């Protein structure tokens, strides 16, 4: 960090103090994020064993053969791999809620840093060509005032030097997925997405980005569409958080 940058950050902290969105202590560099360094470093990654393919955290009493969950062994998934930085609980859950519903758009920077960490520690030998954000419907975007997955994807794009593909659209307004069972979720999402310029994804590897993955119904619907309309090579799903298997509604 240059002396000039350090001086500017110190001046901001002294004359325009901003509280951390989690601990309410002063933030040294609010231009980058309203999250202090201490809280950022306290966000715990997933350390427990998980399915090699879909990345679902597996509790100790769930049998996994060769590191694969029963659903991936029997049914498979329309994506190739899925990884999440952490579990959707505690401080990470609070941070995502503040990002999505509290209009803290600059939280996209630390959240993208978590996604980068997740991608780099995945151990997957991939060379992605595109980052694809899971799109909200235009009505939902207007209600929030911004597209949270798009700005999260842009922040990740700056870190990984991978372009963002913005021609995936949610064309059907859907009710919130929380509270719906798996059959209701699939019906809710039927024909909800449209892909434009699909030929640009042919023979490509893409990273599909979202904030939270619960049952994976939304992600799977998008991946089925992409596989139907393109000759995609590989799909890696990256999310900030994953709802644990034993608390997801399936």
Domain coordinates of the chain in residue numbers? Answer: 1-42, 43-242
pLDDT higher than 80, residue 6: no
Residue 57: strand pairing partners: 50
Highest mean pLDDT among 57-61, 118-122, 144-148: 118-122
Cβ proximity of 155 and 104 under 8 Å: no
pLDDT for 158 equals 97
Residue with tokens 């991978």: 162
Residue with tokens 């002294």: 14
Per-residue confidence band for 204, with pLDDT thresholds at 50, 70 and 90: very high
Domain 43-242: which topology?
Rossmann fold (3.40.50)
Please classify residue 143 by burial: count the beta carbons closer than 10 Å to its beta carbon, then call 0-12 exposed, 13-18 middle and 19+ buried: exposed
pLDDT for 250 equals 34
Per-residue confidence band for 246, with pLDDT thresholds at 50, 70 and 90: low
In the predicted model, what is the mean pLDDT of the chain? Answer: 85
Cβ proximity of 26 and 16 under 8 Å: no
pLDDT for 249 equals 39
User: How far from 114 is each of 7, 93, 190, CA to CA, in Å?
Assistant: 27, 13, 31
């Amino acid at each position: 960090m240059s002396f000039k940058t350090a001086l500017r950050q110190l001046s901001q902290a002294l004359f325009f103090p901003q509280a951390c969105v989690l601990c309410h202590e002063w933030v040294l560099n609010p231009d980058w994020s309203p999250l202090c360094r201490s809280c950022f470093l306290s966000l715990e990654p997933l350390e427990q064993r998980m399915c090699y393919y879909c990345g679902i955290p597996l509790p100790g009493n769930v049998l996994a053969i060769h590191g694969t969950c029963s659903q991936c062994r029997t049914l498979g998934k329309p994506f190739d791999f899925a990884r999440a930085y952490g579990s959707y609980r505690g401080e990470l859950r609070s941070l995502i809620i503040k990002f999505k519903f509290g209009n803290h758009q600059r939280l996209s920077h630390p959240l993208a840093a978590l996604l980068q960490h997740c991608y780099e520690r995945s151990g997957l030998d991939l060379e992605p060509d595109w980052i694809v954000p899971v799109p909200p419907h235009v009505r939902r975007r207007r209600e929030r005032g911004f597209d949270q997955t798009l700005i999260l994807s842009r922040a990740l794009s700056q870190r990984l030097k991978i372009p963002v593909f913005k021609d995936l659209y949610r064309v059907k307004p859907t009710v919130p997925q929380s509270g719906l069972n798996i059959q209701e979720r699939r019906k809710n999402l039927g024909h909800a997405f449209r892909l434009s310029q699909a030929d640009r994804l042919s023979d490509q590897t893409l990273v599909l980005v979202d904030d939270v993955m619960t049952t994976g119904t939304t992600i799977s619907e998008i991946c089925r569409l992409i596989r139907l309309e393109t000759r995609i090579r590989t799909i890696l799903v990256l999310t900030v958080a994953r709802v644990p298997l034993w608390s997801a509604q399936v």
